[in-house]
Amino acid sequence: MGSRSDPPEPAERARRRAVLGPSAFGCEPGQPFPSGLWVDIDPEVRRPTPTALFGATPSRLLVLSRRAAELVSAYGTGPVVAGESARLARRLTDVGMATPRAGRAATAVDVTVVVPVRDRPVGLSACLGALGDRHRVIVVDDGSIDPEAVVAVCRAHGAEVVRRKVPGGPAAARNAGLRLVTSELVAFVDSDCLPGADWIEALAGHLADPLVVAVAPRIVAAPPRRGVSLLDLGSRPALVRPHSRVSYVPAAAVVFRRAALGEGFDESLRFGEDVDLVWRLVEAGWRIRYAPEVQVGHQDPVGTLSRLRRQYAYGTSVGALERRHPGAVVHLTIGVGPACAIGGVLLGRPGLGVLAWSTSAVWLYRRLRPLGVGVPFALQLSVLQLLHAVIGLGRWCTTFGGPLVIGSMVASRAPAGRRVLRALALLSAPALLSDLLGPNGRNRRTVAESWLRAMAYGVGATTGCIRAGLIAPVLPRIRSRSSAARFGRAHRRREPSGGTWDGAAKPIVKQDRTAC
């Protein structure tokens, strides 16, 4: 156990930091999936025809060759083999239709654990005790008032200590530890986390894929806290990227390839520094995986007000993230058809809304018909698009409609105020019903708190956008071009780029078109 003092970095180095892409390590961005690993088709992916797959987020339709359809049926029953199976597995995992099944690492994991902390000796002791002594642990004291207490805890658990005299925030603390890492992998763990003894070994199996740069576990509430953690991203595995079901992973607990991180986190960000790093790695061509089969406990703030303040703080990062990654921060996207249908109902013209939805459904079917998709699936898809748009808009109103609600209540005697209140109630009802029928619906307190947290996040996001001089990240986005148009224009053409081919230059994936 050692102890050092690390001075703060110069301001010019605390700005945006470069990361290294896969090509720097001899990896091609689209190289085949490693043979010998297993993949499973996502259970929510549907097969409208024997040679078509529909699913993922954003929704998309893949039209396959007959050989590819046979390979898809074989996934989950055996490992991926080299050749066309590996190329198809890469495409399916890249679009989110298939999930790698990773076991424990076959060999010893070369990893260093970095734990940033400030004035939490009791929580730090619990964290270090949960980590055990399997790996080298570096604790970065980010300007604690009582540094001797931190040193004593680290000495008791055999961890090294880096002392920062001036607090710089989580990004600066993690970077201070990162500069001392010489191992192949680095794991970041916050001091309020309680990981299992073998959580790194359980995650490292995903890194057998040379294009995977990071993998993160599911963050769950640690006892005595009940309910859902503020950092919980759900129970379904996912590929992490903007605009997808899981668009980021928090650095509260995550394993990275050390060499790809360059100089690490952007220290100018007080919140959202982990999101920024994840998105920079994705932009560089890496894959990042969310593996909820591995769970790490997190000691969330106990009081409701403390949790709301934390959620507000998370939201304030939206403006800065949008400045660094234009277009990546999207809270709601709906298609033209569902938007027109909802607008007709809100304007008191339900007939116009029905006409708009019917028109979009017919348009969708006419474009899908040449691909072999029948009326039942096209109708089902249209209904699901409308349902998701209604629920999504309700959640958006919950998150960002707080000022509208307050203003409408103040002006409730005016006709305009009453109309706004009715519209917000109409839009929020399906979202509330969805939550009540969901896995946490029986606990009314959990549902109520989730809505309060959403509002606190919305206020924080709005504040962050005002500071950055932006408005787009908090506004709904309407997708101007329907999936049907994209399906229809090229349904019989070979994909011009990014296609998947077998050894004889025959298409395995004939079409890959994003849906609404």
Contact 505, 92 (CB under 8 A): no
Q: What is the DSSP string of 249-289?
A: --TTEEEEEGGGGTT-S-TT-SSSHHHHHHHHHHHTT-EEE
Does position 318 have pLDDT exceeding 90, yes or no? Answer: yes
Q: What is the DSSP string of 415-453?
A: HHHHHHHHHHHHHHHHHHHHHHTSTTTT-HHHHHHHHHH
Q: CA 290 to CA 154: how far, in whole Å?
A: 30
To 10 degrees, what angle do helices 444-468 and 304-315 make? Answer: 40
Q: What mean pLDDT is predicted for residues 302-318? A: 90
ω before 473 within 30° of 0 (cis)? no
Looking at residue 282, its pLDDT comes to 95
Q: What mean pLDDT is predicted for residues 495-505? A: 41
Domains of the chain, each with CATH number or no CATH: 3-15+105-300 (3.90.550.10), 38-101 (no CATH), 333-479 (no CATH)
ω before 121 within 30° of 0 (cis)? no
Give me the residues paired with residue 429 across strands. none
- Helix/strand/coil percentages in the chain, nearest 5: 45, 20, 40
More confident position, 281 or 505: 281
Does position 402 have pLDDT exceeding 70, yes or no? Answer: no
Q: Which of 20, 497, 507 is nearest to 257 (CA)?
A: 20
Q: CA 189 to CA 208: how far, in whole Å?
A: 22
Q: To the nearest whole percent, how much of the chain has pLDDT over 90?
A: 45
pTM over 0.75, yes/no? yes
Looking at residue 442, its pLDDT comes to 67
Looking at residue 504, its pLDDT comes to 40
Q: How confident is the model at residue 512 (pLDDT cuts 50, 70, 90)?
A: low
Q: What is the chain's length?
A: 516
Q: CA 287 to CA 210: how far, in whole Å?
A: 9
Q: Which of 228, 229, 246 is nearest to 238 (CA)?
A: 246
Contact 181, 258 (CB under 8 A): yes
CA 174 to centroid of chain Cα atoms: 21
Contact 508, 84 (CB under 8 A): yes
Six-digit token string for 454: 């959403």
Q: CA 53 to CA 122: how far, in whole Å?
A: 51
| Residue 378 backbone phi and psi in degrees, to 5 | -60, -40
H-run or E-run covering 193: strand 193-194
Six-digit token string for 368: 């899908």
Q: Dump pLDDT digits (tens) for 245-254.
A: 999 999 999 9
Q: Dump pLDDT digits (tens) for 168-222.
A: 999 999 999 999 999 999 999 999 999 988 899 999 999 999 999 999 999 998 8
H-run or E-run covering 303: none
Give me the residues paired with residue 214 across strands. 256, 288
Q: Dump pLDDT digits (tens) for 368-390.
A: 787 777 888 888 888 888 888 88
| Residue 317 backbone phi and psi in degrees, to 5 | -80, -10
Residues 6+ apart with CB under 8 A from 219: 193, 229, 231, 232, 233, 250, 252, 253, 295, 296, 297, 298
Contacts 24+ apart (CB under 8 A), 47-51: 48/372, 48/373, 48/374, 48/377, 49/371, 49/372, 49/373, 51/372
End-to-end distance of the chain based on CA atoms, in angstroms?
Answer: 55
CB atoms near residue 261 (< 10 Å):
23
The helix/strand/coil state of 147 is helix
Q: How confident is the model at residue 10 (pLDDT cuts 50, 70, 90)?
A: very low
Looking at residue 387, its pLDDT comes to 87
The owner of tokens 């709005």 is 462
CA 258 to centroid of chain Cα atoms: 21
Q: How confident is the model at residue 9 (pLDDT cuts 50, 70, 90)?
A: very low
Looking at residue 98, its pLDDT comes to 93
Provide the b/e sequence for 460-483 (b: ≥16 CB within 10 Å). bbbebbeebebeebbebeebeebb
The owner of tokens 């991180």 is 261
Instruction: Identify the DSSP state of 197.
Output: T
Q: What average pLDDT does the chain have?
A: 83
Provide the b/e sequence for 202-241 (b: ≥16 CB within 10 Å). bbbbbbebebbbbbbbbbbbbeebebbbbbbbeeebbbbb
Q: Which of 3-17, 114-128, 334-348, 486-500 has the lowest mean pLDDT?
A: 486-500
Q: CA 342 to CA 324: how far, in whole Å?
A: 33
Looking at residue 94, its pLDDT comes to 92
Q: CA 55 to CA 47: how far, in whole Å?
A: 9
Q: Dump pLDDT digits (tens) for 407-425.
A: 555 555 666 656 666 667 7
